[in-house]
Chain A
Amino acid sequence: MRHLMSPLDFSPEELNQLFDLANDIEKNPGKYAHACDGKILATCFYEPSTRTRLSFESAMTRLGGRVIGFSDANSSSAAKGESVSDTIRVISCYADICAMRHPKEGAPMVAAEKSGIPVINAGDGGHQHPTQTLTDLLTIRSLKGRLGQFTIGLCGDLKFGRTVHSLIHALVRYHDIRFIFISPEELRVPDYITDMLKEKNIPYEEVIRLEDVMPQLDLLYMTRVQKERFFNEEDYVRLKDFYILNESKMELARDDMLVLHPLPRVNEIAVEVDKDPRAAYFKQAQYGVYVRMALILTLLEIHI
């Protein structure tokens, strides 16, 4: 029995198989509509996350399975003080697979150690959010046709952004990738990541202005710059517009560049960009469902 705790739990070859399956589901949804008949997914969400939970629920429902679960700790036995280990032992009696989100880092791993069913980490604090990374990789592979041989710009809060860190770790396993980190000084990518890139001889560059690098990018991964991350209001006001993607910045980009964003978007991508064919963030949400469907089938060892 396998679980998914980190995007690196799967080798690049295994990820390719998973993505092939996701692409087949995309092309032939009818073929998989009853793949999980009689199976139950438990969504154990100890903190609210509507998007991720609904994506899992949509994935299981589209496979013909059913979903049970809770969507915040107050409506679960955790409010009565039950441990994660005890909860998963009970859930294992009710469901065939579990997706768990928890504010405490490592909680899904504790569940996996005691579980009788596969556990998927659906986000644990600031630690991992592997299905988001799988979604990002599937989107890139599906829309670019490859994982590797590109320059990717990661823009916004690169210091605290969990999705960004996971994506970098996942991408370094592929060939010929160049990273451009676009962020204010205060929110630069942590040293342990740049140290890792230096060690692996992977080219990277750190810049402050998005406009300066737009023409070089094959992919632009946007994240939000939150006001509360800045030490003072003045710096925030001075810098915030650098990290808002709008039509005029898009004019500097290549015709085949793609814009990705883990969503929810607040104001870092102007609504006017949505109609640009290079805006791929809503397609990305769709790929999130396909990759979760493929993951559920893979972990349940269901072959169609």
Chain B
Amino acid sequence: MLNVGKIEEGFVLDHIKAGKSLSLYEHLQLDKLDCTVAIIKNARSNKMGKKDILKVECDINALDLDVLAFIDHNITVNVIKNGEIVEKKDLVLPRQIKNVIKCHNPRCITSIEQGLPNIFVLADEEKEIYRCKYCEEKYSENSL
């Protein structure tokens, strides 16, 4: 059994789908933060069988949780201060996300227009469907 120590201030992102932690690392742009990050892969979980966990020692305002909610809103976000959990955040699907995913429709204007951001808009909250703001192409897993 691997042991990873407690953090003083930051986040513990729990219940990440096994294998998804590196993609989260990238989308949260953790490589740009000068802080300690522990990536735990394939940890045992009663609820999920296997799961990933990310521990990030940083200012609690430093992360964009909107991205997190878009990638997987079942992730548990524990906010840590002075080594204790002070809050468990509920993730809500963002209304729109900017420059997280690219539109893969070759006929979309985003494929040629310089400087145009890739914006996806929440089209159906119940079915968790995002569509490109410009061409309305549905986001699919492989766009991430």
Q: List chain A positions with a Cβ less than 8 A from chain B.
A: 83-85, 102-107, 109-110, 124-127
B108 touches A106 (CB 8 A): yes
Chain B residue at minimal CB-CB distance from A78: B112
Q: Which residues of B contact A (CB under 8 A)?
A: 105, 107-116, 132-137
Residue from the list A83, A85, A106 in contact with B134, Cβ < 8 A: A106
Can you list 13 A-B contacts with CB-CB less than 8 angstroms, sorted by A residue number? A83-B113, A83-B114, A105-B108, A105-B135, A106-B110, A106-B132, A107-B109, A109-B134, A110-B113, A110-B134, A124-B109, A125-B107, A127-B136
Apart from A104-B108, A127-B135, list 4 A-B contacts with CB within 8 A. A105-B108, A124-B109, A125-B135, A126-B107
Known: A125-B107, A126-B107. Is A104-B132 also a contact (CB below 8 A)? no
CB-CB under 8 A from A125, the residues of chain B are: 107, 135
Q: In whole Å, how far is A169's beta carbon from the nearest beta carbon of chain B?
A: 11
B107:A85 contact, CB within 8 angstroms:
no
Q: Which residues of A contact B113 (CB under 8 A)?
A: 83-85, 104, 107, 110
Question: What secondary structure prevails in chain B residues at the interface with A?
Answer: loop
User: Complex: how many Å from CA A105 to CA B105?
Assistant: 9
Asked if A105 contacts B134 (CB within 8 A), the reply is: yes
Q: A84-B109, A126-B107 are in contact. Are A106 and B133 (CB under 8 A)?
A: yes
Nearest residue in B to A125 (C-beta to C-beta)? Answer: B107
List residues of chain B with CB within 8 A of the CB of A84. 109, 113
**Set of chain B residues within 8 Å of A126, measured between Cβ atoms:** 107
Give the complex CA separation of A105 and B132 in angstroms.
Answer: 10
- In the bound complex, what is the Cα–Cα distance between A84 and B108 (angstroms)? 13
B96 to chain A, nearest CB (A): 14
Taken together as a complex, chains A and B put the C-alpha atoms of A109 and B103 apart, in Å, by: 15
Q: Give complex CA distance A104, B113 in Å.
A: 10
A119–B100 Cα gap in the complex (Å)? 28
Return the chain A residue nearest B114 by Cβ.
Answer: A83
* B residues less than 8 Å from A124 (CB atoms): 109, 135
